[in-house]
Amino acid sequence: MRDIFEAIQRSSIRIKKAIDVKDIGYSQEQNSSGETQLQLDIQCDMIIEEEFSRVASIHTIASEEKEHAVELHDSGKYYIAYDPLDGSSLVDVNLSVGSIYGIYEKSFSGTHLVAACYVVFGPRVEMVFAHNKTKLHLLQGDHWEFVKEIRLNNKGKLNAPGGTQQHWAPYHKTLIDGLFQEGYRLRYSGGMVPDLHQILLKGGGLFSYPATADKPNGKLRLLFEVFPFAFIFEKSGGHAIDGVTRILERPVAHVHDTAPCFFGSEYEIERVRDVYTSNQ
């Protein structure tokens, strides 16, 4: 596991540099010297693949940027699913973005997840790695420093409601409005990594991305986005459900499967479970 942790650290330093210098402009295919430009998220995907291919314990990788999983080392035992640059459309408005990693043993399924990690590229670069505990690290120059362990309170103050309101179920709207009426404050940037990072570091709250009329299976992807954060929330004393069931128990049929998801501390997730159980 140590070698994977260090490969993520190396990748993140390279991704940070790519974000800092990259020309922005999705339609630009060539830079001023006529070289072909890669989209930033493709470039980040290549950086991670390159670093992971040096780690013998990694059997297979699956990336949000790749259609299919890729086998790296036949004798490895870890299967890693990653989103190289989540929220990459926020780079051109200079909001925080992040990478997400799920480290699975022997196969890609929620119950085989053994560690998870995300890296936030904001004003500072921070890495949260959960194995037995959830630990926060900060990039200082070219080295990483351990900062602290992350633990959620039983109840938070932040509410990050995803999905288009126009398409929310009425009971979902009642749930979200109810939290605001209790004093919860709105925090939603549109980047899953910074939005969940804020909830984790401020002690709790609710992040939701429900099933909606236009997206009946939600938007967020199980292997690269939902499972890794579910693991991190559980290891930090919080919970992650699909409305009714613990999300890590949801079966996965395809690499890019999505699911509705709710992450939060004890109190908020109980509220979600009550509402969703009685509306099934």
Site for ligand F6P in 158-177 (CB under 6 A): 162-163
Residue 84: what are its φ and ψ, rounded to 5°? -60, -40
> Which of these segments, 29-37, 41-49, 188-196, 254-262, binds ligand F6P (CB under 6 A)?
188-196
**What's the closest the beta carbon of residue 132 comes to Mn ion, in angstroms?**
26
Pick the closer one to ligand F6P by CB: 102 or 191. 191
* Residue 205 interacting partner from Mn ion, ligand F6P, none (CB closer than 5 to 8 Å by kind): none
- The answer to the question of residue 190 lying near ligand F6P (CB under 6 A) is yes
- The answer to the question of residue 83 lying near Mn ion (CB under 5 A) is yes
**What's the closest the beta carbon of residue 49 comes to ligand F6P, in angstroms?**
19
**Residue 134 CB partners (closer than 8 Å, separation 6+):** 128, 149, 150, 151, 200, 232, 235, 236
Sheet holding 125-130, edge to edge: 70-71, 58-63, 78-86, 97-105, 113-121, 125-130, 134-140, 143-149
**Residue 103 CB partners (closer than 8 Å, separation 6+):** 1, 4, 78, 79, 80, 113, 114, 115, 116, 117
Of the residues 45, 65, 86, 268, which one makes contact with Mn ion according to CB under 5 A: 86
Q: With beta carbons less than 8 A apart as the criterion, state whether 111 and 207 touch.
A: no
> Which of these segments, 118-126, 149-157, 175-183, 187-195, binds ligand F6P (CB under 6 A)?
187-195
- The answer to the question of residue 110 lying near ligand F6P (CB under 6 A) is no
Of the residues 57, 58, 63, 87, which one makes contact with ligand F6P according to CB under 6 A: 87
> Which of these segments, 22-30, 104-112, 113-121, 184-192, binds ligand F6P (CB under 6 A)?
184-192
Pick the closer one to Mn ion by CB: 51 or 64. 64
CA atoms in the 13 A half-sphere facing the CB of 132:
0
Number of Cβ atoms within 10 Å of the Cβ of 144:
19
